Structures are given as C-alpha cells and as structure tokens.
Amino acid sequence: MSLVNFLRFNDDSGAIISDEEYWNVFFRKRMHGDNLHNVLHSDISAKLGIQCVYGGVGYPSVHREVVEKTRERIEQIILEKGVTAIRRVKDVARIAFDCLQEAIRIRIDQKMQFYYGFKTQDLNAGQFTVQGETFPIETAVVKENARKLASRETQDTLLKVVIEAKAAVFGFDENGITGYYLAGENSIMGYVHEGFEAIGTGKYASGLVFGQDFKAKTLKMRQQGYSPPTGLFELIDSAFLAGEHFKEVGGNYNFVLLDRKAATAEQQYRQVFDNEARLATEIVRAVRTGYIQKKQGIDLLNRLVFKKQDVTAIEKSLFEKARDRNALDLVLRGYKNQEVASIFSVETGDQTKTEGV
C-alpha cells in the first residue's frame, strides 16, 4: 500500500513524504516504489504560477497512468482555453481526480469485457455490438452480476487493489499552500483544511504524531504554523513512526519540499532522496530514541536540507552531538534500542515530545 503524508508548514511552504515499499497484491514485497510525481511540466508551471505534486498509494501502474493523463489533459486545456483556465491547485486536483476515476473505470470495463463480452456503457444501453452485429443483454443473472461489477459492489483481488487506490495532490497557487485527498473507492475529492494528511497503511500512526503535536499548540500557534525545519521534522517523524508499526511501509523515504517564495522553479519544487533523505530520517530516529535532543535534531535538519550543507559533515555532527556515539551507531544499523542500552549502560527514552525546540 505504501504511505504518503503531507504537511503545510505555513502559507508559503510545506512538504510531502513517501516510502519506497510496496506489496504486489499482498504477497510480494518490493522496495523500489516511486510515489511522488510532479504533474506540471516546468514551462507550464512557470506560466501558471503553480507547483503541484501527486502522491499515490495502491497499485503503482494506476498512479503512473493518472499522472501521465493529468499532464496531457492540463496541456490540452491550456492549448484550447489558455492559461487562465487553470488557476488553482484545486483545478489540478480535479483533473487528477477525473483521471483516477477513468483509470479505475477502464480496469472495471476490462474485467467486464473478459467475463461477459461487454462494458459498462453497453450494460447501461442494454445491448452490445460485436463485428457489426448487435445483441441485447437480457439474461437476468448476467445483467445482475455485471451491474454489481460495474457498480464496484463485486470485486476480485486484483480489481480490489485498483479500486482502493488513493492519492493526494499538494501544492501552491497565488493563495498559498493547499492540499486535496483523492479516493477512488468512494469517489471522493476532499479539501484538506487541517493542513496535514496521511494516506496509506501507516496513516493511523502518522495521525498520532500530527495529532499529538497539534494538541500541544494553541490556536494562535497553529495559525502561525511551523518553521520549515520544525515542520519537516514532524513530517519525517510521522512517516518514521508509520514504518515502525505498520506493514507495507518501509525502505528509504523521499520527500518533496515546496516553497512559494523561492526565486526559481528548482527551488520552489525540490525533491530530496537517497543519502540526504536517509540521513534526515536517521536524525529523527536519533531524537526519537533519545540520543540527541529534539532542538538539536531540528538544527541538523535545517543545515542538511535547507542550508544544503555537506551530508558527510552533517553525519559527523550528528554523532558528535550524540550522548553515546557508539550506541547511536548500533541503533541506526538496526540493533534493538534496549539491547544497545544494556551494552553501553545508557538510558533510552522518547525525546520527541519532551524536549523543547
């Protein structure tokens, strides 16, 4: 299923994160998922003044198809109606939602064609045509079974993972950072007014991180939002906790940073992955296991991601700040925290909510 979380830091910036793990029809684990996609080509984004990222969980081929069709449809709309036809993130989300619904319907029709020789449109018309000859759909059992399939009431294993596809569209326009939730199963496109969303298998663990943090803030604090380094820490922490406690979430994490005030398109939409993203996750893990303080972790994230300092230098600084660098080394390599604590006689503890920023 994988995981996609996004968090609006403030009116001008935010980020979306995903992991690389995916289970193919529940039985084969793959660790090379690519779930975050820019749905606007750079030249179109510059014309519109919009940046949007699409993050999908569920069957990967469905989301790849949705992204490609969304790009094509946006280009077609602009060509036919001009750039003013698309002015908001909501417009992009609506196009992506329509493409998601169409991708699901295509696969339902393929299943109906395989079983009965006709598609949803033929069922609605009460007849279908083969090689120029028209046949009425009259058999009651066939009509009822086809209706259940067309209405998603009946689903087999392969079709179920397609219908349950979910996505998030996160981006900014002239009104600021905003996000939308797309659900193929329930045909829902919802505006995310809270400023954060978590979809996929680990959403409940991620919701705990966001919920605990928001609960600790006053309304004024929530309106002011986060500084980007602090917001990024909370976002990575949400993904990290999901990977710790839920199946089908794991591997390396990658994320996209959005900055409406940045001067160039490359700075407005920046993807962080591989070594940089992995070290960012390790910094959060070091805080959560109690080896560095939260304020130290946020400072390291700021230097690593936003100031773009050398990865090796930041990693060295991480271990210099650790209260036991040898113990932290083992924890980051996968050793159990309590086992490491017994070896090095250090205390364990969750520092994420007790240390000041």
pLDDT at 202: 83
286 CB-near residues (< 8 Å, 6+ apart) = 292, 297, 318, 322, 328, 331, 332
- State how far the Cα of 254 lies from the Cα of 273, in Å rounded to an integer: 5
- State how far the Cα of 155 lies from the Cα of 262, in Å rounded to an integer: 46
Residue with tokens 């406690």: 245
Say whether 243 sits in a helix, a strand or coil. Answer: helix
pLDDT at 253: 92
Lowest-confidence region among 45-54, 244-253, 292-301 = 244-253
pLDDT at 357: 35
Domains, the chain, in order of start with CATH, read 1-86+164-272 (3.60.20.10), 106-159 (no CATH), 274-357 (no CATH)
Q: Mean pLDDT, to the nearest integer, of 213-224?
A: 87
pLDDT at 354: 40
- State how far the Cα of 255 lies from the Cα of 236, in Å rounded to an integer: 9
Which pLDDT band holds residue 346 (cuts at 50, 70, 90)? low
Q: Mean pLDDT, to the nearest integer, of 220-224?
A: 87
Q: Mean pLDDT, to the nearest integer, of 125-137?
A: 92
Q: Mean pLDDT over all residues of the chain?
A: 89
Q: Mean pLDDT, to the nearest integer, of 289-304?
A: 96
- State how far the Cα of 170 lies from the Cα of 260, in Å rounded to an integer: 12
- State how far the Cα of 91 lies from the Cα of 74, in Å rounded to an integer: 9
pLDDT at 142: 93
| pLDDT at position 113 over 90 | yes
